[in-house]
Structure 1
Amino acid sequence: MPSLLRVVSYGRELPDAYLAAVQAAVTGAGGNIVELENAANGRFQVTVLIVEYDGGASDGVTALRAAVDPVLTGELGTAVMDASLAGPDRKLLLMDVDSTLIQQEVIELLADHAGKRDEVAAVTEAAMRGELDFAESLHARVATLKDLPLGVIERVRDALLLTHGAKELVEAFLAAGHAVAVVSGGFSQILDPLAEELNLTYYRANTLGIDADMLTGTVDGDVVDRAAKEASLREWAAAEKIDLAQTIAIGDGANDLDMLAAAGLGVAFNAKPAVREAADAAINIPYLDVARYFAGV
């Protein structure tokens, strides 16, 4: 029995030549296009192909991804997935926070108040590329915040900018009855009010140490690292009785790799090269709500 696959092409603009090349790649890899849908929201364009593949879905996804990879260029992207992800089953969307749900890195905003932004940013970049152990790098970066007044947290919270399309993505999933969660290597004092404002189903982050209205330069409790992010995905999917095949995880750094691998669809968002290579799909434009079209939401 043929498998049904979903092939989603996206970009600020989708040239006819690019779409023709994607379609040729799909058919050349043994896929038969049975449905085509175009969508646009004023910021980017999307074309969705529903494809029959004479074989298993896993083999079809592998074959079609390999076929369209050489076609990709710049901000144009094409993602291939089992069409069942866009079916009626309830889903869990899990996102990283820094440089994914929001445009900034919170640790750098905090470090700016300590006069250590450049130093901390360099360590953050190395950690996100996977060159440093995340927990060790986090402790080192947080140590630079020692003795900052507690009021800095509110100022940083007020400076946060949601990623373009983030609010639309969250609202669309929640309105359709799905669960939406975030897990962050950042800090609960920053994340919790934002998560409550967005009505997120679950959220988890590290906790900054505080003593006498000052930051202690320490992290309370276990660090939310890549293993904790994957564990959160599995925990929340089980709590909502959602099969892992119906989960979508989105992130940008090495700290997200385990949850991207465990999810039904792991999405790299404007990510480091190693993360893009490991993910099932990538978004290369600054609009998070492209992911809606992957899941048919």
Structure 2
Amino acid sequence: MTHPYALVLIFDRKAGSLPPEAIDIARAMVKGARPVILSEGEAVEIPCGKPGTGAATPATIRAALAPHRVDALLVKQRGRRKAVLIADMDSTIVADETLDQLAALIGCGDAVKRITDATMNGTLDFAAALTERVALLRGHPAALLEDVWKTTRINEGAQTLVKTMRAHNARTALVSGGFTFFTSRVAEACGFDEHHGNVLGIEDGTLTGRLAAPILGPDGKKAHLTRLLTERGAQNSAALATGDGANDLPMLHHAGFGVAFHGKPKLRAEMPLQVNFTTLRSLLFAQGYRAADFVE
């Protein structure tokens, strides 16, 4: 293969058009070939060679393009289109943290958000922190879950990502440390094949402040990815995983494409593939899909 890699550049189409100077900078950094348009004014890919000693790294490329608010993903050309998609829910497929939203309605929002932020940055044990947060919900009406769902916003590109990959025979799964009350609804809205989350205790219409065991956390997410690959008879390289928090790291490291989507600092420090400025459409461009291929 003449150019075994591609540097994919994506710009937020709502903010205008991909700056030509950003393309020139990127092409010079990777000594790349003529850019190939994936979406006019939004995304291009620059075919290039395998990074060698002294070559620009993903981090240096991102730093050079950050002033232009351009996302840059350096990917292998071989096997770009993935057979499995596994995605986190809160702050990835949906815009907010549903547990934080629920806590805000109850009146303990600040306390819960502090724990959530520490957990997503990897400074607290996930299971212990989730148990502590859920305990604060005890005695409040379960009907508040419906109120949270009414205000939950699905991130731009989520439905397009899932539907396009399914149209090309990928298996898609939503996995969350949040609650199945929300994963079931988000999965249906986006078209995921399956969903997994934690079961929130409810008795007589009231939140018990407990979770049904076992708790789905970082290792559980990775286990679902492993199962999906086994069921497809596929290698790790055939998977795309995306998430924003420290509890997503095991599955992101396990996947061929592990993408930090508007990730917390710990993810940005560890993951070479990052989407920091644009939408979930970028995960399709990273796989070599053109906008004309998208299923909207």
TM-score (norm 2): 0.89
Q: Is the 8 A contact 2:174 2:183 kept in 1?
A: no
1:51 counterpart (31, 48, 51): 48
User: Moved runs in structure 1, 4+ residues, more than 6 A?
Assistant: none
Letter in 2 for 1:146: R
**1:3-152 pair list within 5 angstroms:** 4-12=4-12, 13-27=17-31, 32-33=32-33, 36-40=35-39, 45-53=42-50, 64-65=57-58, 68-74=61-67, 75-87=69-81, 91-152=83-144
Letter in 2 for 1:177: N
Higher mean displacement: 211-220 or 151-160: 151-160
1:183 counterpart (172, 175, 181): 175
Q: CA RMSD in A?
A: 2.1
Aligned to 2:185, the other structure's residue is in SS state helix
Q: Is the 8 A contact 1:25 1:64 kept in 2?
A: no
1:209 counterpart (201, 204, 214): 201
Shift of 1:224: 1.2
Q: Is the 8 A contact 1:92 1:246 kept in 2?
A: yes
Aligned to 1:163, the other structure's residue is in SS state coil
1:167 aligns with 2:164: no
Shift of 1:70: 4.2
Structure 1: segments with no counterpart, 5+ residues: none
Q: Is the 8 A contact 2:59 2:272 kept in 1?
A: no
Distance across 1 between alignment mates of 2:79 and 2:138: 45
Q: Is the 8 A contact 2:121 2:266 kept in 1?
A: yes
TM-score (norm 1): 0.88
Q: Is the 8 A contact 2:259 2:273 kept in 1?
A: yes
Aligned to 1:73, the other structure's residue is in SS state helix
- Report the identity percentage: 29
Shift of 1:114: 1.4
Letter in 1 for 2:70: L
Q: Is the 8 A contact 2:38 2:285 kept in 1?
A: no
Q: Is the 8 A contact 1:26 1:64 kept in 2?
A: no
Letter in 1 for 2:36: E
Letter in 2 for 1:6: A
Distance across 2 between alignment mates of 1:227 and 1:76: 32
Residue correspondences, number? 283
| Match of residue 290 from structure 1 | 282
Q: How big is each residue's C-alpha offset from its partner over 1:145-195, in whole Å with a ceiling of 9 and x where there is no partner? A: 101212112222222110011111111111122111111010001211321
Higher mean displacement: 218-227 or 278-287: 278-287
Structure 2: segments with no counterpart, 5+ residues: 290-296
Q: How big is each residue's C-alpha offset from its partner over 1:19-64, in whole Å with a ceiling of 9 and x where there is no partner? A: 111111101xxxx52x5212337xx7111122244xxx8x69x865
- Between structures 1 and 2, the one with greater strand share: 1
